[in-house]
Amino acid sequence: MGTAFITGAGIRVGIAVARALGHAGYDLALHANRSVDSVEALAEEFRALGRRVTVHAADLSRPEAVDELGARVREAHPALDVVVHNAGLYEAVPFGAISRARYQTMLGVNLDAPFFLTQALLPCLRAGTSPLVVNLTDIGGERPVSGYAHYSVSKAGLIMLTRALAVELAPHVRVNAISPGTVAFPENFSAAEREATLQRIPMGREGSVEDIARVVLFLAREAPYITGQVLAVDGGRSAQL
The closest alpha carbon to 150, from 84, 98, 79, 218, belongs to 98
Three-state secondary structure string covering 78-104: CCCCEEEECCCCCCCCCHHHCCHHHHH
Q: Contact, 81 vs 3, CB < 8 A?
A: yes
Taking alpha carbons only, the member of 138, 31, 16 closest to residue 80 is 31
What is residue 225's DSSP assignment?
T
Q: Is 151 a catalytic residue?
A: yes
**How many Cα neighbours within 13 Å face the side chain of 14?**
24
Question: d(Cα 197, Cα 189) in Å, to the nearest integer?
Answer: 10
Q: How far is it, in rounded angstroms, from Cα 148 to Cα 98?
A: 10
Concatenating the DSSP letter of every residue in 27-41 gives EEEEEESS-HHHHHH
CA distance 237 to 214: 19
Q: Which of 26, 90, 103, 151 is catalytic?
A: 151
Amino acid 189 reads: F
Catalytic residues: 151
